């Protein structure tokens, strides 16, 4: 029997990348869902689905990700980022499955000066970060479950910084981009591969403990650096200028420093993590 992997949020960046990768992992059986095929905010529906489909692993790629909107749409953000995670987590525990839940660098306050380890104290600076932290707590209620925190995700699917920059660079002669927020981009394709590699390890060793892990591409840059690299690789003429965060106010505060320490996931799962620029080049190819 092939292990059955349920992937929620199939229409998002990560969900789409996992669908593209599925053919490269023929020893797994994948079930991809969106809110119409499985409402993960409905506990009864989730339990029934797990019971019928005999799920072994669940990658929760569904999330409420509108950081600024979350400040005013608090109930909606909590429903998807906390309640839905609790439903999946409880179902995994009840039906003998393992949850891999994707979280965010926004659980940290961004005041650090060296990469955040998994056990660094959490302290979100916006409501989106709060909801993601509550989701983490729901997932980690059971020791086999895994939380993978990531940052600055982009892909050819959905809305993200790279696609926004490309669009704006096509429309404008000049752009201002924040230069005092630093972190590491994550190519969703790389993250998807990492999650499936983790499941391969769990299949070989079902007793292996879960816990919190960090994953992003290697290297540290600002949003301004990222925009300049996008401009260079895409061959755009647009002039990109650096501005401070204070010149670009948003409803939700952003952490100034979002660099994640990946040494634990590299050691535990023998992962090779590409450098951010290498992955950005791959995105363009």
Return the SS3 of 220: coil
Q: What is the rounded CA–CA span in Å between residue 77 and residue 270? A: 34
CB of 2 closer than 8 Å to CB of 27:
yes
Q: What is the rounded CA–CA span in Å between residue 127 and residue 107? A: 10
Q: What is the rounded CA–CA span in Å between residue 258 and residue 166? A: 23
Residue 142 annotated as catalytic = no
DSSP element (H, E) containing 149 = strand 146-150
The answer for residues whose C-beta is within 8 angstroms of residue 212's C-beta and 6 or more apart is 118, 119, 136, 140, 146, 147, 148, 149
The answer for residues whose C-beta is within 8 angstroms of residue 39's C-beta and 6 or more apart is 45, 46
- Distances 257 to 148, 180, 190, 246 between C-alpha atoms, Å: 18, 8, 22, 15
Catalytic one of 128, 187, 189, 224: 128
Catalytic residue IDs: 128
């Amino acid at each position: 029997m092939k292990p059955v992997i349920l992937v929620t949020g199939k229409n998002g960046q990560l969900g789409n990348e996992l669908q593209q990768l599925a053919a490269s992992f023929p020893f797994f059986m994948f079930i991809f869902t969106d809110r119409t095929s499985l409402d993960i905010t409905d506990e009864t529906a989730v339990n029934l689905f797990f019971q019928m489909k005999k799920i072994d692993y669940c990658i929760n790629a569904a999330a409420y990700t509108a950081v600024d909107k979350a400040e005013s749409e608090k109930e909606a953000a909590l429903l998807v980022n906390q309640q839905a995670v609790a439903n999946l987590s409880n179902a995994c525990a009840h039906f003998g499955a393992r949850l891999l839940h994707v979280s965010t660098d926004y659980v940290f306050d961004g005041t650090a000066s060296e990469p955040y380890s998994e056990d660094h104290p959490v302290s979100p600076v916006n409501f989106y970060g709060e909801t993601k932290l509550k989701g983490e707590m729901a997932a980690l209620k059971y020791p086999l479950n895994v939380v993978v925190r990531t940052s600055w995700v982009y892909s050819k699917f959905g809305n993200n910084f790279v696609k926004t920059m490309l669009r704006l660079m096509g429309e404008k002669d000049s752009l201002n981009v924040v230069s005092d927020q630093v972190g590491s981009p994550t190519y969703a394709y790389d993250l998807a591969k990492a999650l499936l590699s983790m499941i391969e390890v769990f299949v070989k060793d079902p007793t292996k403990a879960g816990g919190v892990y960090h994953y992003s591409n290697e290297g540290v840059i600002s949003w301004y650096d990222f925009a300049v690299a996008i401009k260079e690789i895409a061959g755009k003429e647009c002039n990109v200028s650096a501005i401070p965060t204070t010149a670009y106010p948003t409803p939700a505060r952003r952490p100034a420093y979002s660099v994640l320490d990946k040494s634990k996931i590299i050691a535990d799962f023998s992962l090779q993590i590409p450098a951010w620029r290498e992955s950005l080049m791959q995105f363009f190819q």
